[in-house]
Amino acid sequence: MKKILDLITEELSGAFAASGYDASYGRVNLSNRPDLCEYQCNGAMAAAKAYKKAPIQIAEDVVGHLKDSATFSMVEAVKPGFINMKLNCEFLICYLNQMSAEKDLGFEKTAHPKTIVLDYGGPNVAKPLHVGHLRSAIIGESIKRIGRFVGHNMIGDVHLGDWGLQMGLIITELKKRRPELVYFDPSYTGEYPAEPPFTIHELEEIYPAASARSKEDAAYKEEAMEATYQLQHGNQGYIALWNHILNVSVSDLKKNYEKLNVTFDLWKKESDAQPYIPDMVQYMKDNGYAHISDGALVVDVKEDGDTREIPPCMILKSDGASLYNTTDLATIVERMKLFHPDEILYIVDKRQDLYFTQVFRCAKKTKLVEEDTKLTFLGFGTMNGRDGKPFKTREGGVMRLEDLIGDINNQMFKKISENRNTAEDIDARETARIIGLSAIKYGDLSNQASKDYVFDVERFTSFEGDTGPYILYTIVRIKSILKKYAAQGGTLENLTIKEPSNESEKNLMLSLTGFIHAIETAYAEHAPHKICAYIYELANAFNSFYHETKILGEEDQAKKEGMLALLLLTRNVLETCINLLGFEAPERM
């Protein structure tokens, strides 16, 4: 079904045309003065110059053609030329009942579905997820869900870092500690063990120890670089170790991403792109795209009109080694071959802007992608602590994501326990987990992705204000009312929304009509914060209605059923939206 703004705009456009003016002036917006009207059209102001008439005269002409409209209960021209409108309740009720009856609350899937690959993971194997991985995962997951709701084929890829120096460091450190392992015996020709020679916890200790040693011991680093080279050139023992590292790491990563309610369709790795590199490099050479500069193979990507320095995109170093650029370009080649996407969207730290400018320009210039393939960089800001600096542990280190989630879940459990008769509630821990996830995700997603924000645990876990727990509390409040009505013997089947009994009920109705617009805008702008803003407004509208109205105490059964139908729609809209943000609501709080 159409957005309500589109329906009203069609009405105004028709009135402009009937009055002898161009229909394009009939665009309608939400009023920024809700005390005066619900919707407003400023087209008469813009038309005044073109038609050499006073804007109020144009507005009055248009209003004259709307006097008998069934859409409005009030439409008036106001100096200097505004057209103010209020909706007829019958029109509004009809629209909401249609929303309630239709699939996806009346949201129509796109007529032109696209295939879009999203790169929104990027963790390195053998390292635990930390808070620096939070935004990419949360924003990417939400954009994936919104895109699927709109009707596109969204393919999420974790894109693991598994092929760089960190592998050589781990292998070297493991060799120092356990030289007797068969992986280090060049004469060994048997089957390698099926079980890994380390646990995830040992692996997570090995890498930082190796990394620290390599910064102080040049010979050790040289050995690690040689191990990396050996791995990448087919050393069977090292490849067997590498597979163990992958299996142990990926299993742990999946477990931790699951705690965030984040999933990926693809668990592709940097190494998956390696087979594409030789042919890609040769192609760039053969077609004159790449040239040697200071011994390195580069592609010039500077363009006329650049206001900043855009260095060449380096394809191979002077020693012939590949770089991240090389791997990312080869990954684009792989994605084009496997999925032929209309768009590849990268959700990455905004400080990577220059890097992705180079990679995208190189991919376009060398025709690794088709001319109409979109390469999009969605750069996100930093998650900071209250001190305005990147979020750290109390000791000043980088906080593990697992620890952050655990801390917030414990805080939520404490708050829930304080509000219930006993802390031994069997579902209290699960409820705390659900609410804790809403606090984390909503706290992040309610901010515009490109902006830095302060991760304030106290504020994000509050049940008041613009927070995830407040949204969930609103949903649970609605569920409670519906359950009470059902427990009293009432049925929630075949209810229809009816005439509003007060202004707050009509305001709730008007807020519900913004659902389709909110989803469309969030998708078009890659902006989950638009959905957050919408459901916060909707939750406020519901709570105002709730506090001013006796719903179950209403004696008029028809009125009561109408209000319950409105509650059902409000719950469904809120739950649909939080699902698109990547969390859910508990049954009680």
Rounded to an integer, the average pLDDT of 285-309 is 95
Please give the pLDDT value at position 333. Answer: 98
Residue 304 belongs to a domain = yes
**CB hemisphere CA count around 321 (13 angstroms):** 12
122 alpha carbon, distance to own chain's centre: 15
Reported as a pLDDT band with limits 50, 70 and 90, residue 127 is confident
Q: What is the pLDDT of residues 140-151, one digit of tens each?
A: 999 999 999 999
Residue 129 belongs to a domain = yes
| Closest residue by Cα to residue 412 from 385, 432, 390 | 432
- Give 419 or 569, the one with higher predicted confidence: 569
Residue 452 belongs to a domain = yes
In three-state secondary structure terms, 315 is strand
Among 359, 384, 409, the domain-final residue is: 384
Same domain, 446 and 481: yes
Q: Which of 116-120, 249-253, 388-392 has the lowest mean pLDDT?
A: 388-392
The DSSP element (H or E) to which 571 belongs, if any, is helix 557-581
Please give the pLDDT value at position 64. Answer: 96
CA distances from 324 to 99, 180, 268, 271, 398 (A): 48, 34, 15, 11, 24
Same domain, 123 and 82: no
Where in the sequence is the domain holding 209, given as residue range(s)? 165-259
29, pLDDT greater than 90:
yes
How many angstroms separate the CA atoms of 310 and 500, rounded?
Answer: 59
In three-state secondary structure terms, 301 is coil
How many angstroms separate the CA atoms of 183 and 235, rounded?
Answer: 9
Rounded to an integer, the average pLDDT of 555-560 is 95
Same domain, 187 and 293: no
Same domain, 273 and 207: no
CATH number, position 137: 3.40.50.620
423, pLDDT greater than 80:
no
Please give the pLDDT value at position 308. Answer: 92
| Closest residue by Cα to residue 335 from 285, 378, 280, 291 | 280
425, pLDDT greater than 90:
no
- Give 32 or 472, the one with higher predicted confidence: 472
Q: Which of 357-361, 573-577, 584-588 has the lowest mean pLDDT?
A: 584-588
CA distances from 70 to 14, 86, 240, 358, 465 (A): 14, 11, 73, 56, 38
CA dihedral (281, 286, 288, 294) in degrees, to 10, reads: 50
Reported as a pLDDT band with limits 50, 70 and 90, residue 483 is very high
Same domain, 138 and 277: yes
Q: DSSP letters of 526-540?
A: T-HHHHHHHHHHHHH
392, pLDDT greater than 90:
no
Q: What is the pLDDT of residues 56-75, one digit of tens each?
A: 999 999 999 998 999 999 99
Residue 547 belongs to a domain = yes
Please give the pLDDT value at position 293. Answer: 95
Residue 119 belongs to a domain = yes
**Contact between residue 291 and residue 341 where contact means Cβ atoms under 8 Å apart:** no
Domain count, the chain: 4
Residue 22 belongs to a domain = yes
192, pLDDT greater than 70:
yes
Reported as a pLDDT band with limits 50, 70 and 90, residue 39 is very high
Which amino acid is present at 85? M
CATH number, position 80: 3.30.1360.70
Mean pLDDT score across all residues of the chain: 94
CA dihedral (64, 68, 72, 77) in degrees, to 10, reads: 10
- Percent over 70 (pLDDT), the chain: 98
Rounded to an integer, the average pLDDT of 504-517 is 97
Residue 172 belongs to a domain = yes
Same domain, 566 and 464: yes
Among 259, 278, 308, the domain-final residue is: 259
Same domain, 290 and 143: yes
358, pLDDT greater than 80:
yes
Rounded to an integer, the average pLDDT of 473-486 is 97
Please give the pLDDT value at position 424. Answer: 55
Using DSSP bridges, classify how beta strands 153-157 and 115-119 pair: parallel, antiparallel or unpaired: parallel
Which amino acid is present at 300? D
How many angstroms separate the CA atoms of 82 and 85, rounded?
Answer: 10
**CB hemisphere CA count around 65 (13 angstroms):** 16
Please give the pLDDT value at position 420. Answer: 66
419, pLDDT greater than 60:
yes
**CB hemisphere CA count around 563 (13 angstroms):** 25
Please give the pLDDT value at position 321. Answer: 83
Q: What angle do CA 194, 197, 199 make, to 5 degrees?
A: 105
Same domain, 440 and 455: yes
589, pLDDT greater than 90:
no
CA distances from 460 to 381, 392, 435, 456, 478 (A): 18, 17, 10, 6, 22
Please give the pLDDT value at position 426. Answer: 66
Rounded to an integer, the average pLDDT of 254-275 is 95
Q: What is the pLDDT of residues 279-292, one digit of tens each?
A: 999 999 999 999 99
How many angstroms separate the CA atoms of 268 and 163, rounded?
Answer: 12
Same domain, 156 and 299: yes
448, pLDDT greater than 60:
yes
Please give the pLDDT value at position 54. Answer: 97
Residues forming a β-bridge with 39: 30, 85
Residue 255 belongs to a domain = yes
Look up residue 107 and give its DSSP letter: P
Q: What angle do CA 304, 307, 308 make, to 5 degrees?
A: 110
Cβ count within 10 A of residue 67: 9
CATH number, position 441: 1.10.730.10
Residue 501 structure tokens = 């009994």
The DSSP element (H or E) to which 347 belongs, if any, is strand 343-349
Rounded to an integer, the average pLDDT of 97-121 is 97
**Contact between residue 586 and residue 476 where contact means Cβ atoms under 8 Å apart:** yes
Dihedrals phi, psi of 177, to nearest 5 degrees: -80, -35
Among 350, 384, 418, the domain-final residue is: 384
Same domain, 298 and 246: no
Same domain, 147 and 215: no
Rounded to an integer, the average pLDDT of 494-522 is 97
Same domain, 557 and 438: yes
Place of tokens 């080694």: 321
